[in-house]
């Protein structure tokens, strides 16, 4: 059902014109017969009688031709379309969408079938995405839930040393935090994708908002032995959704801290650009391959499994969706062992 990029047009409507041509031809023959009878008989009564006898025959012939035409050109394709829609209503999207004509000879029913085929493909992809999403969420829930269960079993033991009790309590707390973050990100992503969290644009100081996000990671960076190097231009005002942008910076900074080893540096830059602003978050961490970079915005994708326990693969999916909503672009530059640079360009400069 590929049209090869050609311009669509209902060329096949000429087939429907064949019936009209046939009817015109029959009428012309009837008129000729009437004229001949009139000429040779020379009397009106005979001509009228012959014509009256011919009319039912011609009418029956036209009706039979119309029935055959309707059965082939209308009834059959309508029955097929009905069968296709019944399968789709039952969630069966692999039904037969074979068209009756080649491209260039489509009629209106071919276009309906083609559109139904495209709809079925999109519904099938949506169903696959839903299944994958449920499977991924279930997988992400299993590990922290198993940790919670094991720690709870250990903590129930009598005579457990206080030091061991505190150790398991910390593990339990971390697992609960991971579960909370997963549920929070799933809900946020669902709201963003369903349009129930529309952007609320207002003017604010982007530099101050970005600095507040950086401050949230100072303790984590200090514990890990990382450095922050910030170049934030002052007075950069933007008309956008501050909460969505804060979510973007939080996820980018979280990844930068997570994938940078002790002694490394996280660079944060903000500069004004015509019509908006540009924010860069760069790290000196492990970097990633081109193959990994091509999938980092996919839900639940984690290219570096060594850090899988520190996240759930939804952060960058949230970033991409939020950037699409507020109006902007994000570019990723990275190479293994050379760190990563995320460049976000935003519109709506004030």
Q: 162-194 and 108-155 are packed helices; what angle lies between their axes, rounded to 10 degrees?
A: 170
Q: Are strands 202-205 and 276-283 parallel, antiparallel or unpaired?
A: unpaired
pLDDT of amino acid 74: 73
Instruction: Confirm whether 77 is domain-assigned.
Output: yes
The answer to whether position 302 is within a domain reads yes
**Residues 341 and 259 both lie in one domain:** yes
Do 211 and 343 reside in the same domain of the chain? yes
Q: What is the DSSP letter of 195?
A: T
Instruction: Specify whether 145 is located in the same domain as 223.
Output: no
Using CA atoms in the order 55, 58, 59, 63, what is the torsion angle rounded to 10 degrees? 180
Assigned domain for 67 exists: yes
Asked if 51 contacts 34 with a C-beta cutoff of 8 angstroms, the reply is yes
Please indicate, yes or no, whether residues 280 and 330 belong to a single structural domain of this protein: yes
Q: Tell me, rounded to whole angstroms, the distance of Cα 9 from its chain centroid.
A: 28
Mean pLDDT in order along the chain per 10 residues (350 residues): 42 47 61 61 55 66 70 74 83 76 71 85 79 70 80 84 87 81 75 75 92 90 92 92 90 91 94 91 90 78 52 76 90 91 84
Quote the DSSP letter at residue 277: E
| Number of residues that make up the chain | 350
Q: Which pLDDT belongs to residue 13?
A: 41
Domain finish residue from 146, 174, 194: 194
Instruction: Please answer whether residues 77 and 15 qualify as being in contact, where contact means their C-beta atoms are separated by less than 8 angstroms.
Output: no
Q: For position 47, what pLDDT does the model report?
A: 54
Rg of the chain in Å (alpha carbons): 35
Residue 2 lies in a domain: no
For residues 216 and 322, membership in a common domain is answered with yes
Which CATH number fits the domain that encloses residue 159? Answer: 1.10.287.130
Nearest one of 250, 277, 282 to 266, comparing CA atoms: 282
One domain, residues 220 and 311: yes
Residues 249, 150 share a domain: no
Q: Is residue 209 assigned to a domain?
A: yes
Residues 208, 342 within the same domain:
yes
CA angle at residue 149 from 148 to 154, to 5 degrees? 100
pTM across the whole model: 0.56
Residues 114 and 19 grouped into a single domain: yes
Tokens standing for 85? 């829609």
Backbone angles phi, psi at 32, to 5 degrees: -65, -45
Tokens coding 99: 């068209």
Reading phi first (left if > 0) and then psi (alpha if -120 to 50, else beta), residue 277 is in beta
SS3 of residue 1 by DSSP: coil
- Considering the domain architecture, whether residues 81 and 117 belong to the same structural domain is answered as yes
Same domain, yes or no: 171 and 244: no
Q: Which of 123, 146, 161 is the last residue of a domain?
A: 123
In a domain, 47, yes or no: yes
How far the first Cα of the chain sits from its last, in Å, is 49
Q: Could you tell me where the beta strands, DSSP code E, fall in the chain?
A: 202-205, 227-232, 237-240, 265-273, 276-283, 328-334, 340-347
| Region of residue 266 (left: phi > 0; alpha: psi -120 to 50; beta: else) | beta
Domain membership of residue 142 as a residue range: 136-194
Query: The CATH number of the domain where 221 resides is what?
Result: 3.30.565.10
Report if residue 128 sits inside a domain. no
Name the nearest CA neighbour of 238 among 272, 271, 206, 210. 206
The last residue of a domain, from among 154, 176, 194: 194
84: closest CA among 127, 129, 118, 130? 118
Task: Report the distance separating Cα 126 and Cα 74, nearest Å.
Answer: 32
Residue 54 CB coordination number (10 Å): 15
Q: Are 216 and 250 in contact (CB under 8 A)?
A: yes
210 lies in the same domain as 227: yes
Q: State how many domains the chain has.
A: 3
Alpha carbon of residue 39 to chain centroid: 74
Q: Is residue 272 part of a domain?
A: yes
Closest CA to 2 of 123, 126, 120, 102: 102
pLDDT for 266: 95
Identify whether the C-beta of residue 300 lies closer than 8 Å to the C-beta of residue 306: no
């Amino acid at each position: 059902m590929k049209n090869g990029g050609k311009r669509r047009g209902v060329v096949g409507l000429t087939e429907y014109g064949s019936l009209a041509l046939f009817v015109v031809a029959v009428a012309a023959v009837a008129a000729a017969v009437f004229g001949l009878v009139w000429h040779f008989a020379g009397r009106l009564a005979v001509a009228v009688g012959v014509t009256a006898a011919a009319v039912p025959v011609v009418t029956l012939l036209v009706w039979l031709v119309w029935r055959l035409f309707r059965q082939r050109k209308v009834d059959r394709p309508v029955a097929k379309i009905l069968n296709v829609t019944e399968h789709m209503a039952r969630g069966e999207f692999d039904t037969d969408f074979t068209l009756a004509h080649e491209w260039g000879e489509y009629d209106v029913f071919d276009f309906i079938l083609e559109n139904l085929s495209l709809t079925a493909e999109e519904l099938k992809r949506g169903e696959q995405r839903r299944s994958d999403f449920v499977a991924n969420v279930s997988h992400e829930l299993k590990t922290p839930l198993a940790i919670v269960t094991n720690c709870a079993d250990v903590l129930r033991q009598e005579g457990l040393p206080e030091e061991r009790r505190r150790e398991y309590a910390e593990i339990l707390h971390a697992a609960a935090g991971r579960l909370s973050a997963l549920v929070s990100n799933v809900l946020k992503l669902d709201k963003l994708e369903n349009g129930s969290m529309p952007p609320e644009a207002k003017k604010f100081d982007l530099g101050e908002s970005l600095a507040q996000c950086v401050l949230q990671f100072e303790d984590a960076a200090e514990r890990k032995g990382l450095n922050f190097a910030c170049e934030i231009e002052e007075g950069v005002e933007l008309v956008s959704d501050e909460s969505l942008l804060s979510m973007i910076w939080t996820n980018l900074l979280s990844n930068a801290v997570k994938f940078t080893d002790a002694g490394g540096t996280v660079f944060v830059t903000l500069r004004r650009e015509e019509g908006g602003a540009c924010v860069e978050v760069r790290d000196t961490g492990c970097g990633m391959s081109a193959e990994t970079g091509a999938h980092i915005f996919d839900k639940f994708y984690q290219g570096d499994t060594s850090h899988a326990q520190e996240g759930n693969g939804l952060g960058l999916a949230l970033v991409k969706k939020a950037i699409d909503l507020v109006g902007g672009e994000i570019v990723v530059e990275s190479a293994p062992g050379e760190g990563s640079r995320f460049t976000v360009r935003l519109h709506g400069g004030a």
